Amino acid sequence: MPEGLSAWQLVVSGDPALYAIVRLSLMVSLLAVGLGALIGLPLGGLIALVRFPGRGALIVVINAMMGLPPVVVGLLVFLLLSRSGPLGSFGLLFTPTAMVIAQAVLIAPIIAALTRQIVEDLWLEYRDELQAMGVPPLQRLATLLYDARISLVTALLAGFGRAAAEVGAVMIVGGNIANHTRTMTTAIALETSKGDLPLAMGLGMVLIFIVLAVNASAWGLRVFAEKRIG
């Protein structure tokens, strides 16, 4: 397959167009994970520790949002950011910022749901001891988040995986504009339909490599933690 060969050459020769797209994608997804973590970690922790009216409904909504197709999330964020939408005055539509927001909305529920499960399990284990030490509620949350940090990083990596692999949300709110909002996944979709297979395949290789690397670090972290933290 000659396309395969030239795709490989694009990757190893450090093709600037290809790596500009990779850089933007990574930047967007990493910032989205940061933003999603800022919302998802405390939210998941609170739902785990606090009983309040509507808690069950909130859990259902979060679980449902985990399963939403990215295009639907993209559409919702599009409506929010479009000129006539509630956040239209910021002029964010078709910018990398819009893509970060859309991906954060996409993965915050994943991070929140996984965090809730992780923190709740650890709370069941720690409850008696922390109560006997008189640990006040906010410090309980801090202790649980800290002691569950390894599992929580795994949750963040899962969020990153979903962000890096999705195409629908960034396509809608970013617009797939060359040199501006074109990410790996949207570029692959476009180049494949245009018939430029080498670039599409090159990006595909990089994406596969990134996903593998993310999972390898999750695994490595687990092994390390088993040894060091117990």
The residues binding other proteins (CB under 8 A) are: 125-126, 128-129, 131-135, 139, 143, 147-148, 228-230
Name the residue nearer to other proteins (CB basis): 13 or 139.
139
Q: Exposed e or buried b for every residue in 125-156, given b needs 16+ CB within 10 A?
A: ebeeebeeeebeeeebbebbbeebebbbbbbb
Q: How many helices (H) and strands (E) does the chain have?
A: 10, 0
Closest distance between other proteins and the C-beta of residue 217, in Å? 20
**Structure-token match 């960034």, residue found:** 170
Closest distance between other proteins and the C-beta of residue 183, in Å? 37
Name the residue nearer to other proteins (CB basis): 15 or 149.
149
Residue 206's Cβ-count burial label (10 Å; 0-12, 13-18, 19+) is buried
Name the residue nearer to other proteins (CB basis): 83 or 228.
228
Name the residue nearer to other proteins (CB basis): 98 or 118.
118
Closest distance between other proteins and the C-beta of residue 150, in Å? 8
* CA–CA gap between residue 223 and residue 4 (Å, rounded): 35
Is there a contact between 47 and 112 (Cβ–Cβ < 8 Å)? yes
Closest distance between other proteins and the C-beta of residue 178, in Å? 48
Name the residue nearer to other proteins (CB basis): 14 or 128.
128
Closest distance between other proteins and the C-beta of residue 131, in Å? 6
The first and second tokens of residue 187, run together, are 């570029």
**Structure-token match 């409904």, residue found:** 57
The first and second tokens of residue 74, run together, are 């993209």
Name the residue nearer to other proteins (CB basis): 37 or 118.
118
Closest distance between other proteins and the C-beta of residue 40, in Å? 21
The Cβ-side half-sphere exposure at 31, using a 13 Å CA radius, reads 12
